[in-house]
């Protein structure tokens, strides 16, 4: 049986790759690297840069093209179809490698458990065992970069997406929101007295941080995000929101 290792690699900084991850990568028979088009070629390059620093064994690497997700009103249906297509590409890429690999490694940004569907896709592969190597999440790197605790004293934290925030607003009873997967500007639906800690490319040389009340920094975040996306062809950002002034 083939074992697929899903390896959290943090936010692109080789220093985020744990010793466990290094051992798993060096012990693999095959490493898969996704290609997401020319506009996001930097993401594949970053994976290769990490491998160049951590591999001490000549592990074969196979690139594969990530299928495009259909834009349609049935969001969950489109995502499930997309995941099916990705799983087929994984299976075909693994099957085409000779000899058939006993261990395959796939590097995942952050950690495979936090707003990432790699585990759901892997579950679609029959006859393949899955093991997870945990990684540092962008949420951890964000709070470290701003030197703030994730939660206020004795209070919970809600982790959500830009889509949920845009469609439903601030969740009832929430004190702190961590927002991921925002295509841009979901926070504009919130009152201007909300405080935001925003970061793009956190933990990487391109890291950019902005903090303050939305009334003062909201427009600057939107403009900065647009500029960075144009410069790099892609962007990864995340932010923390609080109301009530307690840090």
Same domain, 180 and 130: no
Burial of 5 (0-12, 13-18, 19+ CB in 10 A): buried
| pLDDT recorded at residue 246 | 55
| pLDDT recorded at residue 111 | 93
| Segments forming the whole domain that contains residue 62 | 2-136
Own/partner pairs for 92-100, CB < 8 Å, 24+ apart?
Answer: 93/32, 93/62, 93/64, 94/2, 94/30, 94/32, 94/128, 96/62, 97/29, 97/30, 97/60, 97/62, 100/2
Give the end of a domain, one of 86, 113, 136. Answer: 136
Residue in the structure block whose two tokens are 């943090």:
10
Asked whether residue 247 is domain-assigned, the answer is no
Give the end of a domain, one of 136, 156, 180. Answer: 136
Same domain, 151 and 232: yes
Residue 204 sits in a domain whose CATH number is 3.30.950.10
| pLDDT recorded at residue 134 | 95
| pLDDT recorded at residue 125 | 94
Same domain, 106 and 144: no
The sheet with strand 195-200 has its strands ordered as: 157-161, 176-180, 237-242, 195-200, 208-213
The first and second tokens of residue 218, run together, are 């909201």
The first and second tokens of residue 220, run together, are 């600057």
| pLDDT recorded at residue 45 | 86
Q: Report how far residue 198's alpha carbon sits from residue 111's, in angstroms, rounded to the nearest whole number.
A: 20
Same domain, 164 and 188: yes
Same domain, 9 and 129: yes
| pLDDT recorded at residue 46 | 86
pTM of the model: 0.85
Same domain, 233 and 131: no
| pLDDT recorded at residue 13 | 87
Q: Work out how many domains the chain is built from and give that number.
A: 2
| pLDDT recorded at residue 41 | 59
Asked whether residue 213 is domain-assigned, the answer is yes
Provide the 10 A C-beta neighbour count for residue 66: 16
Q: Report how far residue 128's alpha carbon sits from residue 23's, in angstroms, rounded to the nearest whole number.
A: 20
The first and second tokens of residue 240, run together, are 């923390």
| pLDDT recorded at residue 213 | 95
**Low-confidence residues in the chain, pLDDT < 70:** 37-42, 244-247
| pLDDT recorded at residue 39 | 52
Q: The dihedral of CA 101, 107, 111, 113: what is its sign? A: negative
| pLDDT recorded at residue 33 | 93
Same domain, 144 and 232: yes
Name, in order, each residue with C-beta under 8 angstroms of 111's C-beta and a sequence gap of 6 or more: 8, 134, 135, 136, 137
Residue 50 sits in a domain whose CATH number is 3.40.1010.10
Same domain, 54 and 85: yes
| pLDDT recorded at residue 181 | 92
Same domain, 235 and 151: yes
């Amino acid at each position: 049986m083939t074992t697929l290792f899903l390896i959290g690699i943090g936010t692109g900084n080789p220093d985020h790759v744990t010793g466990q991850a290094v051992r798993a990568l060096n012990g693999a028979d095959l490493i898969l690297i996704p290609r997401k088009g020319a506009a996001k070629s930097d993401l594949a390059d970053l994976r290769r840069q990490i491998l160049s620093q951590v591999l001490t064994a000549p592990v074969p690497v196979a690139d594969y093209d990530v299928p495009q997700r259909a834009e349609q009103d049935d969001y969950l249906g489109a995502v499930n179809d997309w995941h099916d297509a990705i799983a087929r590409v994984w299976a075909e890429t693994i099957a085409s490698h000779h000899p058939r690999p006993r261990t395959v490694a796939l590097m995942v940004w952050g950690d495979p458990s936090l707003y990432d569907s790699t585990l759901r896709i892997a579950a679609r592969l029959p006859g393949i065992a899955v093991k997870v190597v945990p990684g540092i999440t962008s949420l951890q790197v964000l709070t470290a970069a701003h030197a703030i605790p994730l939660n206020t004293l004795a209070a919970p934290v809600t982790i959500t997406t830009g889509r949920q925030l845009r469609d439903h607003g601030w969740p009832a009873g929430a004190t702190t929101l961590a927002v991921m997967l925002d295509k841009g500007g979901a926070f504009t639906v919130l009152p201007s007295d909300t405080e935001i800690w925003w970061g793009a490319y956190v933990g990487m040389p391109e890291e950019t941080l902005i903090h303050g009340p939305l009334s003062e920094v909201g427009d600057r975040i939107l403009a900065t995000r647009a500029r960075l996306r144009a410069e790099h062809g892609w962007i990864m950002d995340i932010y923390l929101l609080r109301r009530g002034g307690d840090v």
